[in-house]
Structure 1
Amino acid sequence: MQLALSFSALLASVLFVLSATDSGVQAAPAKRARTVTLPLTRLHQNRGDVHPQVLLQQHINRSQRRIARMRGVAPPSKRELEQNLAKRLYIPAGGRPGKVQKRFNRVGTKGSVSLVEEDDDAKFEPFAKAAGRKGKGKGKAGTAGANSNAGGNSGAAASASGLTPANAPTANNSLGLAIEAQDVGYIATIQMGTPPRDFNILMDSGSADLWVGAENCQSESGGDCGNHTFLGPQSSSTFTDTNKQFQVTYGTGNVQGDIIQDNIVVAGLALNAHTFGVATAESVDFSSDSVPFDGLMGLAQSTLSEQGVLTPVEALAQAGLIGDAITSYKISRLADNKNDGEITFGGLDPTKFDASTLVTFDNVATDGFWEGAMDGVTVDGQDTGLQGRSAILDTGTTLIVAPPADATAVHQLIDGAQDDGQGGFTIPCNTNASVALSFGGQEFAIDTRDLVFAQADATGTNCVSGISSGQIVDDVTWLVGDVFLKNAYYSTDVTKNQISLAKLV
């Protein structure tokens, strides 16, 4: 094998590893409890000097730890994950990185180690592509251009580091989901305090705590918590501190602070004296000026809540403001230039999906996340023989991670696919392969732009597949992230403990 990474890419990757190693997070056995948190998104800037093979290993490592935490088993050790990453630094001759399009994932199983951090702009600015950024604070809207198969984004989309505003929602009790950067995250605006003020909130289907920065918020890197909107007694006359504390640790960041009560308005629905958190301390992952949101709303089941309170959607249902604790997501793809992302509370928006394709199935998870039976997998209509599988549907995961034998079975049916021997696969960048997953008797095809994760080399011929293999607890459980979920209308129902999927229109 030949070391084919550029010097700056290699140095940046090593520095990222050292940063993760120095974080002091221990790879202790996980407890299967309410501490599982899977943030939908976290801000990451584009780093043109990080090779896509290294990027792929980051996602594989994170997925492995995420699955271990979900299943309540000891995750791979930090040393094991670092060794996996080190192997990725050695790539075939000719694999020198070119100008590639990448989509960075926000991650964060509670307490996990995210190897090769991409968050600390100040530390790694020499290796960043400054031209791919559009200022600080809440950012400027990006512009989508012509579609590209490699990476699923256009060049214009790839340069968007701010927010692309959503169109007005088409259903009651709904909020538009602004697109952050290259489909990195989805952010809505809610109101908090008295008088009510707007807060940009990242909508997270996999955690269960609502928090925003406190007026006295301090960054762990020193100084205040950046160019954000904060909540506290100076700005809200209805703010009440309960004198209780909370802490949430994500894979690439953490917050801690006070549990408080104040008025909030979500999609026009008012919750007075709602209990949630204000962060008095944030890691740079949240406090940086480049982060375009003020807080995070977790919308999994409240059994995951570190604050021990109802999620907003559960509180809305309890108050009778919505019929059921349902949260529905239409996640946009920036390259489509539709900007029709939307989150709906209490029901589904029938204008976003084909009603004849709607299927509903039981949530089989017991710890508050969402998992259902997956009937089968096909490639170009050919059955892979993978029946009796279970899929954890997680908007906080970028890739689809399948057990090794299953991932191999899928790629054997994709012309030109190759196993890299380390959990990843390459596929032709111009592939027309149609991979589809089935739930509730309904088949959902994955857009080829999502299947093609990023260019694997400078030739533009080989690309990294959006489906990888991971050491999952058993041989039948998949972790299904946004590579799939951007291709379906996704709805979760806490009241009935069910999941719904439908084809988009």
Structure 2
Amino acid sequence: MQLTLPFAVLLTTILALYSVSEVDAHPLAKARAPNGRITLPLKRVVRRTDVHPEVYLQQHLNRAHRRYARMTGREEPSTEALTRALEKRVASIEARGLQVRSGRLGYAAQGMTSSALVNVAEPGKGKNKGNGTAAAAGAAGAAAGAGAATAAGAGAATAAGTGAAAAAAAGTAAASGANTGNAGFPAASAQAAASNSLAQANTPTTANSVGLDIEANDVSYVSTVQLGTPPKNFNVIMDSGSADFWVAGDNCQTCAGHQLLGASTSSSFVDTQQPFSVTYGSGNVQGNIVTDTLTLAGLTLTNHTFGTATAESAQFAQDPNSDGLMGLAQSTLSSQGVLTPVESLAQQGLISNAITSFKISRLADQKNDGEVTFGALDTTKFDSTTLVTLNNVNTQGFWEVNVGGFSVNGQDVGLAGRTAIMDTGTTLIIAPPADAQALMSAVPGAQSDGQGGFTVPCTTNATIALTLGGTTFNVDPRDLAFLPTTNNLAGNCVAGVSSGQIGGATEWLVGDVFLKNAYFSTDVAKNQISFAKLI
């Protein structure tokens, strides 16, 4: 069903996907279990609420280009090159008469300078939260249907109260029953985004498991851990694509609004005075290597070595929903030169093996069963007959596998000899340009946007798939249709697959667009990676 709402109204609805209210999901405090498994909760990280979806997509591409260059030891693209890519994206949006930023920030694309664009060249890991008005309007919109959207009107979408109008628009779609299933971008997802909701996970039924709360429409993931004496909760990004663990320090001048750790807050805190610095595709951090007590799901590591930040770049400093980051690649990749938490748990005998397993949930499924598990695989989450285990082919510490093939709707697209780095810290699938073109050319209705990205019909039923260890793993069409590009939720969507010259001609960077569709587990001791089909 086509919605004839003003673009600004729908745009704000879509952009609200990246707002969320803070909700805690505390780990279950359990003694060590016989099976050696513990599980942590995950939450979604807030994303930008102020830019057009296509600009946000380009930010993700820029981030991936830099991240992948670092992964493979290649020269990173310059800030100037990334800015030019973003300027081209902005020019394309302007040519269609659309706004780059949402109206509530008070200005559109016209007149933006290169210096202004540099500030949004890459996505932050979390930005401003939405307001309570949007949440209230979401419920009202769902009840009132089309009348609420009409009352909001185009004018409200460009004023300070745009969140309310967007929520009402989402309510219209939900009340009418439109855009569910394969009819287009799901109304339930739009409504959840517009209301800034956090879908709480069901109570886990498996021992040593803690639920995963879903922010808006499937964004990134955060886990709650405890640090210090007395212990305090810290929310940290869970990232299989890096290997350093750090949180904001009490002497950090740029960490306002975060939970802080230091001698002033913890009697067991020790600062080694040894510096560390980590640069990510979407920010950087520097600080000191410290030791303190770390508790994961009730299991305690005393004198664990990690980092506290004395300075964070804006991408981290402005993130209200995370206090740091936990890297879960291999410690050979660590800038701090220390064991990752999962490796320390195994070394101290608190878990049987240095295994990290991910079940990443999708809002549209309404299962709310996501989790991250340390020490084993949660066999209740996958079909054990489909489990495949592959050797890690990366020598630096990333998790990378050989891919047997890529297909669209069951038809092989002729891409042999490729490898893929599996990264929970990346949202999209990023492929070398020729590979992305070959894959997306086989998707009915897919079109190149001329900027390295693609669009697909929001109603697509196309299934792309990766073959791993002889087993084919499908990507749900709902994940392929990443974000609508207009006010028609049954129109075109930005695709979850994009191209970029970000490494070798045969290397892919595979993020959550795929990983939501498989159980994903890594084993440090065996240097292996496992996948299984979800149940």
Q: Determine the structure 2 residue equivalent to 1:45.
A: 48
Q: Determine the structure 2 residue equivalent to 1:54.
A: 55
Q: Provide the TM-score with structure 2 as the length reference.
A: 0.74
Q: Which of residues 443, 450, 466 is equivalent to 1:421?
A: 450
In 1, Cα distance between the equivalents of 2:199 and 2:274?
37
In 2, Cα distance between the equivalents of 1:113 and 1:484?
29
Q: Does 1:204 align with 2:243?
A: no
Deviation at 1:462, TM superposition (A): 1.7
In 2, Cα distance between the equivalents of 1:160 and 1:313?
36
SS in 1 for 2:92: coil
Q: Structure 2: state its 5+ residue gaps.
A: 1-6, 12-42, 103-117, 132-157, 166-173
Q: Determine the structure 2 residue equivalent to 1:103.
A: none
Deviations 1:92-149 (A, max 9, x none): 865736999xxxxxxxxxxx99715567968xx999987389xxxxxxxxx9x98574
Deviations 1:38-80 (A, max 9, x none): xx98642322xx3333233222222222222211111222222
Q: Which of residues 256, 259, 269 is equivalent to 1:225?
A: 256
Deviation at 1:164, TM superposition (A): 4.0
In 2, Cα distance between the equivalents of 1:163 and 1:241?
36
In 1, Cα distance between the equivalents of 2:432 and 2:97?
27
In 2, Cα distance between the equivalents of 1:485 and 1:263?
31
Distance 1:479 1:448, change over 3 A: same
Distance 1:130 1:188, change over 3 A: farther
Q: CA RMSD in A?
A: 3.3
In 2, Cα distance between the equivalents of 1:502 and 1:327?
14
- The 5 Å alignment of 1:76-91 reads 76-91=77-92
Is the contact between residue 62 and residue 122 of structure 2 (CA under 8 Å) also seen in structure 1? no
Is the contact between residue 405 and residue 467 of structure 2 (CA under 8 Å) also seen in structure 1? yes
Distance 1:249 1:473, change over 3 A: closer
Q: Determine the structure 1 residue equivalent to 2:193.
A: 158
Q: Provide the TM-score with structure 1 as the length reference.
A: 0.78
Distance 1:338 1:386, change over 3 A: same
Q: Determine the structure 1 residue equivalent to 2:283.
A: 253
Deviations 1:21-53 (A, max 9, x none): xxxxxxxxxxxxxxxxxxx98642322xx3333
Q: Determine the structure 2 residue equivalent to 1:64.
A: 65
How many aligned residue pairs are there?
Answer: 439
Distance 1:335 1:365, change over 3 A: same
In 2, Cα distance between the equivalents of 1:336 and 1:59?
25
Distance 1:45 1:152, change over 3 A: farther
Deviations 1:169-213 (A, max 9, x none): 444444433334432222222222223232222222122122222
In 2, Cα distance between the equivalents of 1:357 and 1:459?
38
Is the contact between residue 46 and residue 128 of structure 1 (CA under 8 Å) also seen in structure 2? no
In 2, Cα distance between the equivalents of 1:187 and 1:119?
11
SS in 2 for 1:216: coil
Deviations 1:284-315 (A, max 9, x none): 43334x61222221111111212211011000
Please tell me the residue identity of whatever aligns with 2:526.
K
- The 5 Å alignment of 1:18-417 reads 43-47=46-50, 50-91=51-92, 94=96, 96=98, 115-117=121-123, 131=163, 149-150=184-185, 154-159=189-194, 161=196, 163-219=198-254, 225-226=256-257, 228-288=258-318, 291-417=320-446
Distance 1:75 1:349, change over 3 A: same
Deviations 1:432-477 (A, max 9, x none): 1111111001111111111001122344422211112211433322
Q: Determine the structure 2 residue equivalent to 1:12.
A: none
Distance 1:482 1:117, change over 3 A: closer
In 2, Cα distance between the equivalents of 1:504 and 1:422?
34
Q: Does 1:495 align with 2:525?
A: yes
In 2, Cα distance between the equivalents of 1:491 and 1:71?
22
Distance 1:278 1:152, change over 3 A: farther
Is the contact between residue 163 and residue 178 of structure 1 (CA under 8 Å) also seen in structure 2? yes
Deviation at 1:152, TM superposition (A): 9.3
Please tell me the residue identity of whatever aligns with 2:501.
Q
In 2, Cα distance between the equivalents of 1:494 and 1:127?
52
Q: Determine the structure 1 residue equivalent to 2:155.
A: none
Percent same amino acid at aligned positions?
A: 56
Distance 1:370 1:292, change over 3 A: same
Distance 1:132 1:444, change over 3 A: farther
In 2, Cα distance between the equivalents of 1:94 and 1:372?
41
Is the contact between residue 180 and residue 187 of structure 1 (CA under 8 Å) also seen in structure 2? no
In 2, Cα distance between the equivalents of 1:338 and 1:265?
28
In 2, Cα distance between the equivalents of 1:153 and 1:491?
30
Is the contact between residue 353 and residue 525 of structure 2 (CA under 8 Å) also seen in structure 1? yes
SS in 1 for 2:253: strand
Q: Structure 1: state its 5+ residue gaps.
A: 10-39, 101-111, 134-142
Please tell me the residue identity of whatever aligns with 2:256.
C
Q: Determine the structure 2 residue equivalent to 1:462.
A: 492
SS in 2 for 1:217: coil
Deviations 1:299-341 (A, max 9, x none): 1111121221101100011111112110001111123332211
Distance 1:41 1:121, change over 3 A: closer
Is the contact between residue 123 and residue 282 of structure 2 (CA under 8 Å) also seen in structure 1? yes
> Larger C-alpha radius of gyration, 1 or 2?
2
